[in-house]
Amino acid sequence: MSMICHRCDQRAVIRLWQHRLQLCSEHYIEWFIKYTAQTIERYHMLNQGERIIVAVSGGKDSLAIWDVLQRLGYSADGLYINLGISKDGDYSHHSLQHAQAFACQHNLSLQVVDLIDQYGAGIPELSSRRHRSQKPCSTCGLVKRHIMNEAAQKGDYDALVTGHNLDDEVSVLFSNTLSWDMEMISRQSPVLPAGLGFTRKLKPLCRFSERETTAYALVNGIQYIEEECPFAEGASMLYYKGILNQMEEQQRGLKLRFYSDFLKVRKMGQLPSHNYKDATGGDVTLCPQCGQPTSSGNLCSFCRLMNTP
């Protein structure tokens, strides 16, 4: 098996089965950036000149997309949310260090929201307010969505970018399909348009596997937090990722096809599609406490959580 780069005579560092390509470090970086630009164009994600805020966790995916966006010439600031997770060692502290180091090296602006400082409690405590024994992942999702949108709205950004990769997207789609949750299925998209107080949300890495984003971070020497969140162990999304990887081993390209075909079929109108623009807004009001949009009719879920003793 020859492992020479398909674009030069250097040793290839990665084989991209679905693209029938094997590339050296330099050409892999070039290809990764170009393919991200194609994804941005394909889903009409961004226009040049728009101001972006990237949700940065200190992990490989969010640092990779921040890196690519600035290389593509976009004006992209970072947002780090310190979740106050410190079960084994100090997870949140380490991830913040990586985010700050990256920002500093690339002369990028990073806004930090600290849950404990600003709201008096981190994810573990907030989660135990809602339910005693369950995993904190749903609380964490709720808190992050709120803070990300608030920061994007307050900073008047045109778009909010997250580092979700293909494996993230596919595991969520797989889970929602197994339960035929059509509401969640209708909302899953590489782009959620702006509207009703929500900033446009983008996932430009949605067509790269975790292996591919990891490789991008590695060949660029990006330092990122390698530990999984301590709460991820036993989480259903990790379980589904395992199942999907097992099937991918058997049928190369299955994950990307599952995701792309889903988007195609929905575009053709054969699956329900959520669209903020079409929404009448009748059931969305502004939370009297924080001013963020909510469909609860009164306080939003985030403020209700913060008000819970």
The reply to whether 272 sits near a second copy by the rule CB under 8 A is yes
The reply to whether 267 sits near a second copy by the rule CB under 8 A is no
Q: Cβ closer to a second copy: 220 or 273?
A: 273
Select the residue interacting with a second copy from 264, 286, 288, 308 (CB under 8 A): 264
Q: Cβ closer to a second copy: 17 or 239?
A: 239
Q: For the residues of 123-185, what is the DSSP string, one character each? A: HHHHHHHH-SSS-THHHHHHHHHHHHHHHHHHTT-SEEE----HHHHHHHHHHHHHTT-HHHH
The reply to whether 238 sits near a second copy by the rule CB under 8 A is no
The reply to whether 249 sits near a second copy by the rule CB under 8 A is no
Q: Which two tokens stand for residue 106?
A: 């690339």
Select the residue interacting with a second copy from 30, 257, 295, 298 (CB under 8 A): 257
The CA distance from 110 to 125, in Å, is 26
Task: Catalogue the long-range contacts made by 175-182 (C-beta closer than 8 Å, 24 or more residues apart).
Answer: 175/236, 175/237, 175/240, 182/271, 182/272
The reply to whether 207 sits near a second copy by the rule CB under 8 A is no
SS3 58: coil
| Inter-residue contact 231 to 136 (CB < 8 Å) | yes
Count of residues that bind a second copy according to CB under 8 A: 20
Amino acid sitting at position 193: P
- Minimum CB distance to a second copy, residue 263 (Å): 9
Select the residue interacting with a second copy from 2, 48, 270, 280 (CB under 8 A): 270
Amino acid sitting at position 215: A
The CA distance from 61 to 58, in Å, is 8
The reply to whether 258 sits near a second copy by the rule CB under 8 A is yes
| Inter-residue contact 165 to 206 (CB < 8 Å) | yes
Contact window for a second copy (CB under 8 A) among 37-45, 139-147, 242-250, 300-308: 242-250
Contact window for a second copy (CB under 8 A) among 107-115, 127-135, 256-264, 289-297: 256-264
Q: Which residues bind to a second copy, rule: CB under 8 A?
A: 177-180, 182, 239, 243, 246-247, 250, 254, 257-258, 261-262, 264-265, 270-272
